Amino acid sequence: MSTSTSLLDQVVREIADEMAQRSDRGEVASYIPELARVDANSFGLVVVDADGHVAAAGDRETPFSIQSISKVFTLTLALGKVGDRLWSRVGREPSGSPFNSIVQLERERGIPRNPFINAGAIAVTDLILSGHQPREALGEILRFMRFLADDSSITIDEAVAASEQRTGFRNIALANYMKSFGVIENSVDFTLGVYFHHCAIAMSCRQLAMAGRYLAYAGRNPSTGLNVVQAERARRINAIMMTCGHYDGSGEFAYRVGLPGKSGVGGGILAIAPGKASIAVWSPGLDANGNSHLGRMALEALTRRLGWSIFGV
Ligand code: GLU
């Protein structure tokens, strides 16, 4: 049963009002110094349904650092480039470890558990980079984001990229470690340069929800009717978002929200209600696992009120 647009508008507004009143907002990420400058009181929520109706509340147009949410899109691009060969470089099991953990890599001979932990995303970035200059690879990623969101104004926040480049010691360690196993093909500096920059893409909730539509509608952009990926690929990316999209908080997210989702330490979450909607939420304060605290609460309220969890009402 489809959700009426007036109900959707009302639920989105109510949730934004409720979130605005909460004082438990989590902690803004500070390990990338530039991210710590963001206003902790920001909150945005945008839902785009199958007919293209946009229900929005709060800071819907404010660009924020999408960080790890970019990993959904780089995975899509890399699968388009190398297909299932990708899975010889990266696994697809939940890690149960923090996003920047290094211990599993040693036990598993340099093969990251999944494409959404940092090590896995760096390996995926390396696949996109192969055969190109870093500038070309980055251009390809940015063009893809603009195409998906149908918005040419999307850019990279260079200050965030530079900030992470200066302080990304763990990611540098992860990349070098994978290189020692032959999992990274290109120069570690080049691969990380592209990785830091795609994490620093800035998008608003509206742009992000628009960009996620192909995952909600079987690989198709419903407004143009164009296939971005095959339906099977969209389904599989959703499966990985469900099992691995929130690091060691993925089980909790599935339990509470019940949708495929991907979080970023900028406080954004992209969530997909298959066949129903693409959803973006942003609140910069994070929980202990590095996932947006109010973002998750807002999505939990949304799926409960609309009966959208993929596990039933
Ligand atoms: N660029 C961030 C990092 O590599 C992304 C982390 C995240 O959003 O979870 O640490």
Q: Is the CB of 100 under 6 A from ligand 1?
A: yes
- Mutation pick for ligand 1 pocket among 99, 160, 248, 270 (CB with most ligand atoms within 8 Å): 99
Q: Is the CB of 295 under 6 A from ligand 1?
A: no
According to DSSP, the β-strands at 44-49 and 277-282 are: antiparallel
Q: Are 64 and 284 in contact (CB under 8 A)?
A: yes
Predicted pLDDT of residue 92 = 96
Q: Is the CB of 74 under 6 A from ligand 1?
A: no
Q: Phi and psi at residue 65, in whole multiples of 5°?
A: -80, 115
pLDDT digits (tens, 9 = 90+) for 157-202: 999 999 999 999 999 999 999 999 999 999 999 999 999 999 999 9
In this prediction, residue 75 has a pLDDT band, given cuts at 50, 70 and 90, of very high
- The pTM assigned to this predicted structure is 0.97
Q: Are 278 and 209 in contact (CB under 8 A)?
A: yes
Task: Name residues whose C-beta falls within 8 Å of residue 190's C-beta, 6 or more positions apart in sequence.
Answer: 129, 134
Residue 155 has pLDDT above 80, yes or no: yes
Provide the terminal-to-terminal Cα distance of the chain, rounded to the nearest Å. 12
Residue 36 has pLDDT above 90, yes or no: yes
Predicted pLDDT of residue 95 = 86
Mean pLDDT value across residues 23-28? 94
Distance (Å, whole) CA 277 – CA 205: 13
Predicted pLDDT of residue 238 = 98
List, in order of start, the domains of the chain with CATH numbers: 5-64+204-306 (3.40.710.10), 68-201 (3.40.710.10)
Distance 155 CA to ligand 1 centre (A): 18
Mean pLDDT value across residues 74-103? 92
Task: Give the Cα-Cα-Cα angle 101, 82, 278 (nearest 5 degrees).
Answer: 70
Q: Is the CB of 163 under 6 A from ligand 1?
A: no
Predicted pLDDT of residue 1 = 53
Q: Which residues are catalytic?
A: 68, 71, 195, 247, 265
Of the candidates 47, 48, 40, the one whose C-alpha atom is nearest the C-alpha of residue 64 is 40
Distance (Å, whole) CA 51 – CA 271: 17
